[in-house]
Amino acid sequence: MNGSEFLFLLTGLKWTLFLSAIGFVCGAASGLGIALARTSGIRPLEQATAGYIALFQGTPLLMQLFVVYYGLALVGLKLDAWLSVAIGFTLHASAFLGEIWRGSIEAVPKGQTEAAKALSLGYVSRMRDVILPQALRISLPATIGFLVQLIKGTSLAAIVGFTELARAGTIISNQIFKPLLVFGVVGVLYFLICWPLSLYGARLERRLAAASH
Amino acid sequence: MNYKFDFGPVIEGLPDLLWGCLGTLGLALAGMVLALVIGIGGVVLRDSPYRGLRWLVIGFVELIRNTPFLVQIYFIFFALPLAGIRLDPTPTAIIALGVNGGAYAIEIIRGGVQSIGKGQIEAGLALGLHKGQVFRLVVLKPALRAIFPSLTSQFILLTLTTSIASAISAYELTSVAQNIENNTFRSFEVYGVVTLLYLAMSWLMMRMFAQVTARHFSYPVK
C-alpha cells in the first residue's frame, strides 16, 4: 500500500466521521423529542414513540438503510446516496438515543419532579432546568456507548454504495490484492477512533457509579 | 407519487424468504454457541494467573468491540484461506459471528461470575454442601440469573447482525432478499417485507426469552 492509497483510506475516514457526526447530531435533536414524547404522560404519544423505538431496535440497521434508501426514491426524492444514508442514520440514532434518554429521564428521582411542580415551574422550565440536566449526566456513558455503535454502524453505508472508510478499504483491496493488509489498516483506523471514546465512556460510568454510592 | 406497489414478486418469493429466515436463525444460533464457548474460555483466561494471557483477552475484547463487524467479517473471510482453511461463506460467517459475539459474551459472563460474592461460596461450604452443589446451586444458578437478560439481548443483537453476513453472501435472509431484488427490481417491497420478518423474529425471540426468565430465573414471590 503506497501513500496515495493510504490517503484514499483517510478520505474515506473523513466521510465516516462526517456521516457519524451528522447522524449523531441530527439523531440527538430528534431523539430528545422522542424521549420527551415517550415520557410525556400522553398515551397516544407514548405508544407511538414506543412503537417507533421497537421498530428500530428490532430490525437490522442494514435493512433500515435499504428501506430509507429505496423509500425516499419511491416518494420521488432523488437524493444523493450520502443524503439518504445520512437520513437513515439520523432515524436510527433518534430511536436509540430516544430510548437511552427515556431511561435517564425516568431514572431521575420522582421527588425532583414533585419539588419542581411544588415550586410551580411549568413543563418547559421543569424539564430544561431540573430534569434534563440530571438526566444528561446519567445518560452520558450509554450515549457515548451508542456513539461508538453508530461510528461502527456507518460502515454499513458501504453496502448501500456510499464511499466511506469500509468501502474505501474494499476498493483499495480490489486494486492491490492485499485484503488482509488493507482491512487490517481499516480496522486499526476504526479502532483509533472508537477506543478512546469507549475508554472515556467506561471512565464516566465508573465515576457515576462511585457518585451514586 | 405515482408509484405502483407490486408485492407480486415478494409473495412469489415468500417460501424462499422463509427459508432465509431459518438460515438467519441457524446462523445466529451457531454463532451464539461459538460465542458462548469463546466467552467461557475467555473468562477463564481473563482471570488466569498469567499476565500475558490476561492482556491477550483484554486486547481481544477491546479490539472486537471497537471495530465494525463488516470489517471483521471481511478480514476473517480473507484470512482463513491464507491460514490454509477453505470454508464456504456460511461457516465463515458463523466464525465471524462467534468471534464478535464472544467478545461481548466475555464481558457479560465475567460480570455474572463477579456478582457471586466469595462469602456466598464460603457460606455454602459452611452449610455442608459439597463442592459440586456449591457450584451448581450457589454459583451457577444465581450467575445465570444475573447474566441471562444480557446474554439473550446479545443473542437478539447477533441475530440482527447476521444481515451483514450478506456482504460475503452467506445464506441468510438478507442475501435471499438481495437475490429477489436483483431479479425483480422491487427493492422497496422486498426490503420492507424483509424488515418486518426481522421484526417478527426478534419479537418472537424476546417473548420466548421473557417466558424462560419468568419460569426458571425468577425468585419465588413470597
CB atoms within 10 A of CB A3: 7
Q: Verify whether the Cβ–Cβ distance B161 to A59 is below 8 Å.
A: no
Whether A62 and chain B come into contact, CB under 8 Å, resolves to yes
Averaged pLDDT score across all residues of chain A: 94
For residue B174, is it within any domain?
Answer: yes
Lookup result for grid cell 478520505: A11
* Number of domains forming the structure of chain A: 1
CATH number, domain containing residue B68? 1.10.3720.10
Region A71-94: mean pLDDT is 88
* CATH code, A69: 1.10.3720.10
Domain annotation covers residue A198: no
> Nearest residue of A to residue B160 by CA position?
A60
In a domain? residue B2:
no
With an 8 Å Cβ cutoff, is A147 touching chain B? no
Count: domains in chain B: 1
A87 inside domain: yes
**ipTM beyond cut 0.85:** yes
Residues of A in contact with B81 (CB under 8 A): none
| pLDDT tens-digit series, residues A30-43 | 999 999 999 999 99
Q: Is B62 buried (19+), middle (13-18) or exposed (0-12) by CB count in 10 A? A: middle
The answer to the question of residue B36 being in a domain is: yes
Q: Quick check: is B221 in a domain?
A: no
Question: What residue of A is the nearest CA neighbor of B190?
Answer: A67
**A148 and B66: CB-CB below 8 Å?**
yes
Residue B45 lies in a domain: yes
Identify whether A190 is part of a domain. Answer: no
The answer to the question of residue B3 being in a domain is no
In the predicted model, is pLDDT for residue A185 greater than 60?
A: yes
A183 inside domain: no
- Chain B residues near residue A60 by CB distance under 8 angstroms: 160-164, 174, 198
Q: Cβ of B78 and A70 within 8 Å?
A: no
Cβ distance A102 to A38 under 8 Å? yes
Q: Do A183 and B161 touch (CB under 8 A)?
A: no
Alpha helices per DSSP H over chain A: 3-38, 43-57, 61-74, 81-107, 110-118, 123-125, 132-153, 157-160, 165-176, 179-211
Predicted local distance difference test score (pLDDT) of residue B222: 45
Burial of B102 (0-12, 13-18, 19+ CB in 10 A): buried
- In this prediction the pTM is 0.92
Each residue's pLDDT expressed in tens, for chain B with a length of 222 residues:
567 788 888 888 899 999 999 999 999 999 999 999 999 999 989 888 899 999 999 999 999 999 999 999 999 999 999 889 999 999 999 999 999 999 999 999 998 888 888 888 899 999 999 988 888 888 888 888 889 999 999 999 999 999 999 999 999 999 999 999 999 888 899 999 999 999 999 999 999 999 998 888 877 654
Is A148 in Cβ contact with B67 (below 8 Å)?
no
Residue-number span of the structural domain to which A141 is assigned? 14-162
Q: Does residue A182 belong to any structural domain of this protein?
A: no
Q: Which domain holds residue B57?
A: 8-216
In a domain, B222, yes or no: no
Residue A88 in contact with residue A65, Cβ under 8 Å? yes
Per residue, the 3-state secondary structure of B137-161, as one string, reads HHHHHHHHHHHHHHHHHHHHHHHHH
Collect all residues from B whose CB is shorter than 8 A from any CB in A: 1, 3, 62-63, 65-72, 74-75, 78-79, 82, 160-164, 166-167, 174, 187-188, 191-192, 194-195, 198-199, 202-203, 206
- Cα A178 vs. chain centroid, distance in angstroms? 32
Cβ separation of B198 and A180 shorter than 8 Å? no
Residue A206 lies in a domain: no
Is A194 part of a structural domain of the chain? no
Q: How far is B64 from chain A (nearest CA, A)?
A: 9
- Choose among A57, A70, A76: nearest Cβ to B188: A70
